[in-house]
Amino acid sequence: MRGLNLSRSASRALLASASRQPFSRSFTAAALSTQGLTRQASTTRTARLQTRYASSSSSSSASLRQTPLHDLHVAHNAKLVPFGGFAMPVQYPSKSIKDSHNFTRTHASIFDVSHMVQRVFSGPGAAAFLQLVTPSDLGVLAVHKSTLSALLKEDGTGGIVDDTIITRLPEQNGEDVFYVVTNAGCREKDDAYFEEQLKKWTGDKVQQEQLSSHGLIALQGPKSAEILEQALSPHHPKPDLSELYFGSSVYARLTAAREPVLISRGGYTGEDGFEISIPDSPLAVTQSLLDIGGGDVDLAGLGARDSLRLEAGMCLYGHDLDETTTPVEAGLSWIIPKSRRGKEAGYYGAEVIASQLVPKTKGGKGVERRRVGLVVEGAPAREGAEIWAGDEKVGVVTSGCPSPTLGKNIAMGYVRDGVHKSGTEVEVLVRGKKRKGVVSKMPFVPAQYHKGAA
């Protein structure tokens, strides 16, 4: 088996054990049926990431949960860290974080994202319920289409409880079905949020199911489609991946899976790729993709995922987003469709968000701060670094790292309105010294999504 330090018999035993893992056969399950880095710098970055991700989980090492791919991570000698209550790989010894990052940009990488929370909301009131807690217009969302959205605080402030991807699935028994993926680090908070909101819900019936037995992997990079195409079962109808565009999904059969999988085109890297929800045999599916891809695919961890998403200008909840931040402040106004931009839209925080959508220059309330990208000279600007304009503190960095693709130090953060325009020169306080910085448009690296004709 490619890349595994196991004997053939041990490999077969590992996969045989995985094939015996229980999986949900419920209503929903049936439906879903360094080059350039010194060794010291690489070690320092790994240690920093370990600390960062470990802080996202309150679980002790003894109580950490394991994803369905845990044995595969151990077999590949992954460096595991606590994140979202799970033991997750931050990197693998075969590549530095920088090398893994660059490999994803030129080939393909597989990320274990099974720690993410997969839910399904169904029933006659599912769309209305989700339109109460998010600013999305799900009435116009077509089957097998997805939208980025945000769970919003009930108190009307417009604060973001979590960011989420919502996908409309085919109806079941004439009722709406939505696949909702939320962040691992917000699991307990989101569980309580949905439980409370469903208790208060007085509309048509809504059912929630958490797909705790499903694996979830992200196959990312320019070689992804070629590899996935070869993994499709020849004994079942095959989807045309060339016509599966960014933000779309499809059920398909893979040779290595017993049940249909849900394949969604998208990801968290800015590259073309797929996220695959696997009701059964996630370990066998992952190993199959590794075998098919050969030298064009490898496993990647949280370290590369973090630098890739930052180059792509994507937010990490708990760092770039939180409950004190609205979608407008976060530069996510685009997730709010025109049909829901009025104060009477009916979702939590609609009045505040609608007023922020109209800039001060046009008579609206606007916002006092905005999320921006930054390119910083000298040492990398990390989370918490102060942003200055002259003698005045105007903001704070929320994420930052050296960009392997650009060879520059990049960051994102929040600055006072008026300092947000691209090209604005600022200073960032790093290690007690002010460094030159420039506000930059995001994404830092152009996205490579597979999109249809405009």
Name the residue among 447, 437, 425, 142 with its Cα closest to residue 271: 447
Amino acid 59: pLDDT: 46
pTM for this prediction: 0.89
Query: Beta strand 425-430 with 386-389: parallel, antiparallel or unpaired?
Result: antiparallel
pLDDT of 23 above 80: no
Residue, of 121 and 47, whose pLDDT is higher: 121
| pLDDT tens per residue across span 170-218 | 999 999 999 999 999 999 999 999 999 999 999 999 999 999 999 999 9
Mean pLDDT is lowest, of 45-54, 145-154, 338-347, for: 45-54
* Lookup: tokens for 357: 């959508």
From the options 3.50.7.10, 3.30.70.1400, 3.20.10.10, 2.40.50.140, give the CATH code of 118-210: 3.30.70.1400
Distance CA 411, CA 316 (A): 12
Helix (H) or strand (E) segment spanning residue 218? strand 215-220
Amino acid 21: pLDDT: 38
| pLDDT tens per residue across span 250-259 | 999 999 999 9
* Lookup: tokens for 162: 């979590």
pLDDT band for position 452 (cuts 50, 70, 90): confident
pLDDT of 28 above 60: no
pLDDT band for position 49 (cuts 50, 70, 90): low
Upstream peptide bond of 443 is cis (omega within 30 degrees of 0): yes
pLDDT of 321 above 70: yes
pLDDT of 45 above 70: no
pLDDT (average), residues 22-35:
37
Distances (CA, A) of 31 to 24, 114, 140, 207, 261: 11, 18, 22, 14, 9
Mention every residue, 6+ apart, whose C-beta is less than 8 A from residue 76. 3, 4, 5, 89, 92, 93, 94, 299
DSSP state letter for 86: E
Residue, of 23 and 426, whose pLDDT is higher: 426
Buried b / exposed e over 60-83, threshold 16 CB at 10 Å, is eeeebbebbbbbbbebbebbbbbb
Environment class of residue 344 by beta-carbon count within 10 Å: exposed (0-12), middle (13-18) or buried (19+)?
exposed
Amino acid 5: pLDDT: 37
Query: Beta strand 108-112 with 297-300: parallel, antiparallel or unpaired?
Result: parallel
Amino acid 52: pLDDT: 52
Distance CA 329, CA 371 (A): 6
Distance CA 137, CA 379 (A): 43
% of the chain surpassing 90 pLDDT: 85
Distance CA 321, CA 442 (A): 16
Name the residue among 368, 377, 422, 376 with its Cα closest to residue 395: 368
| pLDDT tens per residue across span 52-85 | 554 444 445 668 999 999 999 999 999 999 999 9
pLDDT of 101 above 80: yes
| pLDDT tens per residue across span 418-442 | 999 999 999 999 999 999 999 999 9
Distance CA 84, CA 86 (A): 6
8 Å CB contact between 255 and 233 = yes
Distance CA 349, CA 328 (A): 12
What single letter denotes the amino acid at residue 172?
Q
Domain boundaries, the chain: 8-114+214-300, 118-210
Residue 342: how many other CB atoms lie within 10 Å: 12
Amino acid 44: pLDDT: 54
CATH 3.30.1360.120 corresponds to the domain 8-114+214-300:
yes
Q: How far is CA 290 from the centre of its chain?
A: 22
> Where would I find the H helices in 371-435?
none
DSSP reduced 3-state for 29:
helix
